[in-house]
Every structure is written in C-alpha cells, then in structure tokens.
Amino acid sequence: MKCSEVIRIAWGLTNAKKGLIWFGVIPAFFTMLVGLGYLSYQFFAFEISPFFGNKSFDFSKIKALIFGFAGNHTTLLVIFLVVAIIVVLGYFLIPPLTEGGLIGLVSAFYKKKEGVRISDGIAIGTHHYLKMFEYGMAVSTFSFFEFATVTSLSIRHLGIPTWLVILLAILFFVSFLLGFLFIYAQNFIVLESRGLIGSFSGSAKLVVSNLGKTFLMWLLMLLISIRVIINVVLIFLIPLFVAFVANFFVSTIALTLGIILAVVAGFVVVSIAAYLGGVLHVFTTAAWTITFLDLDYQRAEKLLEE
C-alpha cells in the first residue's frame, strides 16, 4: 500500500469515527497543562541561572501574593492542589490507557470488524495497560521532554561550549534513532500482545526490513502533522494570554473574580489547543497503525511463501 493511500484512509477514519477524538483530546489536555508548567519552570530556571549571570529574580511579590491569597482563600487553594494532583496523575496514568484503546479501535475499524464500539477502546486499553505503561516509562528516557531537560540543564550551568554542542547533537541523534526504531513497538504490544522487549525487537526488525517505506511515512507525518508546531506555539502563547487576562482583571476588578476569570480563559484556550492536538494525534496514530498492519500482512505472506 502506498503512503498516500495510508494517509487517505487514516484521515477518512479519523473523520468517520468521531468518538476516537476523545482518545486523543483527553491525554493531549493533560500533556498541555504539564507542558505549561514545564515551560514556566524552564523560564524561571534560566532567569536565575549562571547562563544569565546569576540574575536575581524578585520572587518576593509573587510569594506575598501567593501566601496572601492562600491565607484569605483556603478553599480555592485546596481546590487548586486537588486539581494539580489530578493533572499530574492524569499525565502519567491516562495516556497508556487511551493509546492502547486507540490502536485497538483503529485496527478493528480498519479491518471492518462487526460489533465494535468506541467504548470497547476502554476495555482494550485496560487489557494492555501495564505493558503500555512500561513502554511509556521506557521511551521517556529518550523523549523530547527528557532531551529538553538535559539540554536546558547543561546550557544553564555550562554555557554553550563546542564539546557540549557535539555531545548534545550525539544525544539527539541517539534519541531520534531509538524513537525511529521503536516506532511500531506499541502496535506489537496491543495487536500482537508482545512484551516490552519483544515489542522493541519486533519493531526494530520491521523498521530495518522496511526502512524505505517507514522513513518515507515518517517524513510525510512530519510534514503533514502540525501537532507539534501547534503545541509549541500555543505553549508559548497561552502563558502570555493568561497573564494578560489576569493582569487586566486583577487591576480593574476584585482579585478573586479576576483570578477565576483568568483561569476560565486559560482553560478555554488550553481546551482548544488540546482538541487540535488530539485530532492530529488520532490521525497520526491511525496512519502508523494502518502502516503496521500493511507491513505485518506482507511479512506474514512472505513467511507462508517460505
């Protein structure tokens, strides 16, 4: 099957099965919130790092505002802490469930199995949850967040010497190579019920034996899917938008009402970003799952011929 045909089928499936979008939107929402927190941390960390000459940042006003608000609005503080805990748990625990369910549903709909409902994705994701969770923990060691953390930490404290640039370039290449080789690992876990090591091994073999098509598919996904670009742009714009809204309302009306309106405005923007990212995630997952099924079918035919 040609890559263009895979993309056409994947996009048609994404549009036809609207319920699949929830399997992308929900984890994207938690990822977006954690990404905002991560970006905020990196901003303040760079502000006070040796890279900027140990520039001091005046936290006194922020500290006074937080403690003053906490002392006068204990209920809102408790709600905030509960929401923060839910977001962190959702970020770590929900993606393995939704990703497993999404892959299983895409495979079932592509094969036109009868009696399959969107709600069956929960059962599929639950069945493969532990293996998908293990996969998530394993690949996080060479994920974008991990690479960004190592890079920012190194630059903040060491600057940008030549040897560090070379080392980070090697680290980036290794991370990309591992991610590329294991690109079908989740499909092996869900669709063939393999373990973590078996899925990594099977994915690497499938990629190497179909290197041309896999690379072309990856390149097309990179060009077509603007999910990452949307996420990055919105992650930069959302804090500015929320800060503007908060500053406007806090300076013109009551503090509590201003904060509530700012939170609501931020929630709306994050939800829109999560929806866009979720739709594109469903599409890319569908495309890779269909590619896997096509390559796996060809592999099975070769084995029968032998």
Q: How far is CA 86 from CA 92, 136, 230, 263, 292, in A?
A: 10, 19, 24, 16, 34
The beta strands (E) that lie in the chain are given as: none
The residues, ordered by sequence, that sit 6+ positions from 207 with a Cβ below 8 Å of its Cβ are 180, 181, 183, 184, 214
d(CA 118, CA 26): 15
The residues, ordered by sequence, that sit 6+ positions from 197 with a Cβ below 8 Å of its Cβ are none
3-class secondary structure, 118: coil
pLDDT confidence tier of residue 304, bands split at 50, 70 and 90? very low
The residues, ordered by sequence, that sit 6+ positions from 73 with a Cβ below 8 Å of its Cβ are 256
Contact (CB, 8 A) for 3 and 217: yes
Give the pLDDT confidence of 76-118 residue by residue, as tens digits: 778 888 988 999 999 999 999 999 999 999 999 999 888 889 9
- Averaged over 140-150, what is the pLDDT? 79
* pLDDT number for residue 277: 82
- In this predicted structure, the answer to whether residue 74 has a pLDDT above a threshold of 80 is no
* pLDDT number for residue 241: 63
Give the pLDDT confidence of 61-71 residue by residue, as tens digits: 556 666 666 66
- In this predicted structure, the answer to whether residue 29 has a pLDDT above a threshold of 60 is yes
d(CA 28, CA 205): 30
What backbone phi and psi angles, to 5 degrees, belong to 117?
-115, 160
3-class secondary structure, 301: helix
